[in-house]
Amino acid sequence: MTTTSRREALKLFAAAGGVAALTPAAFARAADPVFLDYAAASADDPWTLIVRDAPSQGFDGQVELINGRLPDGFAGTLYRNGPGRFSRQDWRYRHWFDGDGFLQSWQIGQDGINHRGRFIQTDKWQTEEAAGRFILPALGSVPPNPGGLSGPDDMNVANTSVLLLGDELLALWEGGSAWSIDPDTLDSRGARRWGQGLDGVPFSAHPKREPGSGIIWNFGQDASSERLVLWKIAPDGTLLNAGLVNDVPGGMIHDFVITERSLVFLVGSYRFQQMRLPFIESFQFDPEAPMRAIAVDKDDWSVRRSWDLPPGFLFHFGGAWEETDGTIRLDAALSQDARFAMAGAYDVMRGHAETDTDAQSRHMQVTLSPGGRSRIEALGDAYIEFPQIDPRQTGLRRRETWHVAWDADQPRGANRIERRNLHTGARDGFDHGAHVYVEEPLFVPAAEDAAEGEGWIVHTALNALAQRTELHLFNAQQLADGPVASWRLPYACPFGFHGCWRSA
Ligand SMILES: [Fe+2]
């Protein structure tokens, strides 16, 4: 790791993100086949609401209780972030991950639940909203007659996740800066500045908060130069350290895990090949490339261990812990290849989503042992995504993971919420029915001192029959009993990717 010229190096890192070096060619406007396909599909298929444009002014609504009752004392705010604008002037993005960040809050109290949705006022959003058309190249699309890029934040859509940091909410992307948001109003405050030389340096969407210290760890990736930047942040938002780790294979890294000693990365076989626009086409799945696990020592970023695993791909981890002999155990949603990140996400934008189930992810436990030995074991047959844990167990030995799940006959998305005990294999779950498409389940502890796993699961979902977005609350230990309460909005929102919870 470079320490003497750290800030200069990081500045170069931001500039070298690659995209700034390319100027897209203009091309002639024609009837857009993706826009036309989506318009046709959405005419008779309410599933397509998950990728329908949210209105520019956002949403403000009151939810209706449709089942059960809010438990006494349960109060707080659920934040959710995801893409919310996919088309302008009859031209539609090609890739699901391109859409502009649309932030939602569900303020839950004993006197009701207020829902709010707002577009994040990124530089890109403001430029394109004023122009009435897409201008900037996006991760997976280049719009007609595009403009050039001066740096990664020009195309920042801040659409992936959220992090509460002191009195601010950060909307997270992974190719550039976090975006600072007022957690009460959802008003945007601009790109988060960490210090000189750090503007635009990638800040990924899955930071991890260490229990006890409250320290937040994160990373950013420049796959083209096989480097990571590591971020260490105090609970009040002060930057404690940032620096580079070199020689990390250029496989797309979306998430990571921490243990008490280590920061653990799993580099999949979806590898950077050559800089192209749209940027995602710079990556290709290499079936010969082993996945590489890398554990970086938290106290000395120059110390690392690594393991080679069979080829594969992942977006998300559950969690990890480290035994006293250095063995690391982690669980993740692993797939055989990256077809979902490519063809699957393109299909979603056309309104076609019967994704090839061979490309979908299963719950796997990975053991990384001293001496470079490793083992991967399947934790069940279902397809799963969005694994979540009791956040108080982040980096610590724990029992359980919650996730969404679906079977091969439901290839359009998850309709179940499940909990799995990693040690006994015991499973608990609830099936909402084929017409309900569920989003990420978040674990909310019953109280700070409650026992591990004692708490609530809160998740949103699209009810395709009602054509409305719903909110469901479960006892985290009794999913099979069904929701303790469910609510419904008077409208449908586009799907989000990730969220966080702020207790009242
Ligand atoms: Fe993610």
For residue 248, give Cα distances in angstroms to 135, 266, 268, 360: 33, 10, 11, 25
Q: Is the peptide bond before 278 cis (omega within 30 degrees of 0)?
A: yes
Above pLDDT 70, what percent of the chain?
Answer: 94
81 CA to middle of ligand 1, Å?
A: 10
SS3 for 97-156 is HHCEEEEEEEEEECCEEEEEEEECCCHHHHHHHHHCCCCCCCCCCCCCCCCCCCCHHHHC
Decide if pLDDT at 241 tops 50: yes
Decide if pLDDT at 16 tops 90: no
- If one compares 360 and 445, the residue with the highest pLDDT of the two is 445
23 CA to middle of ligand 1, Å?
A: 28
The mean per-residue pLDDT over the stretch 219-233 comes to 97
440 CA to middle of ligand 1, Å?
A: 10
CB atoms within 10 A of CB 297: 13
The mean per-residue pLDDT over the stretch 397-408 comes to 96
96 CA to middle of ligand 1, Å?
A: 13
**Domain positions in the chain:** 6-503
Rounded CA-CA distance 223/253 in Å is: 8
499 CA to middle of ligand 1, Å?
A: 10
* Maximum alpha-carbon separation in the chain: 62
27 CA to middle of ligand 1, Å?
A: 32
Q: What are the tens digits of pLDDT across the range 271-310?
A: 999 999 999 999 999 999 999 999 999 999 999 999 999 9
11 CA to middle of ligand 1, Å?
A: 25
41 CA to middle of ligand 1, Å?
A: 27
Decide if pLDDT at 3 tops 60: no
73 CA to middle of ligand 1, Å?
A: 30
The pLDDT value recorded for residue 358 is 73
341 CA to middle of ligand 1, Å?
A: 12
CB atoms within 10 A of CB 288: 6
Q: Dump strand ranges (E) for 310-354.
A: 313-322, 328-335
The residues, ordered by sequence, that sit 6+ positions from 492 with a Cβ below 8 Å of its Cβ are 46, 49, 52, 462, 467, 468, 469
Q: What are the tens digits of pLDDT across the range 363-389?
A: 999 999 999 999 999 999 899 999 999
Q: What are the tens digits of pLDDT across the range 321-354?
A: 999 999 999 999 999 999 888 888 899 999 987 7
The pLDDT value recorded for residue 309 is 98
385 CA to middle of ligand 1, Å?
A: 10
The pLDDT value recorded for residue 27 is 47
* Residue 315 in tokens: 């977006």
31 CA to middle of ligand 1, Å?
A: 33
Question: Using 50, 70 and 90 to split pLDDT, how confident is the model at 18?
Answer: very low
- Residue 145, Cβ density class (10 Å: 0-12 exposed, 13-18 middle, ≥19 buried): middle
205 CA to middle of ligand 1, Å?
A: 7
Residue 500, CB half-sphere, CA atoms under 13 Å: how many? 19
280 CA to middle of ligand 1, Å?
A: 16
497 CA to middle of ligand 1, Å?
A: 6
Q: Look over the chain and give the mean of its residue pLDDT values, rounded to a whole number.
A: 93
Decide if pLDDT at 13 tops 70: no
68 CA to middle of ligand 1, Å?
A: 31
Decide if pLDDT at 22 tops 80: no
Query: φ and ψ at 366, to 5 degrees?
Result: -115, 130
430-469: burial string, b at 16+ Cβ within 10 Å, e else: bbbeeebbbbbbbbbbbeeeeeebebbbbbbbbbbeeebb
Question: Using 50, 70 and 90 to split pLDDT, how confident is the model at 408?
Answer: confident
29 CA to middle of ligand 1, Å?
A: 33
> Is residue 334 within 8 Å of 359, Cβ to Cβ?
no
The pLDDT value recorded for residue 28 is 47
69 CA to middle of ligand 1, Å?
A: 31
The pLDDT value recorded for residue 23 is 54
Look up residue 183 and give its DSSP letter: T
317 CA to middle of ligand 1, Å?
A: 9
The pLDDT value recorded for residue 169 is 98
406 CA to middle of ligand 1, Å?
A: 18
| Topology of the domain comprising 6-503 | Methylamine Dehydrogenase; Chain H (2.130.10)
Q: What are the tens digits of pLDDT across the range 467-498?
A: 999 999 999 999 999 999 999 999 999 999 99
> With the CA atoms of 7, 8, 12 and 15 taken in that order, what torsion angle do they form, in degrees rounded to the nearest 10?
70
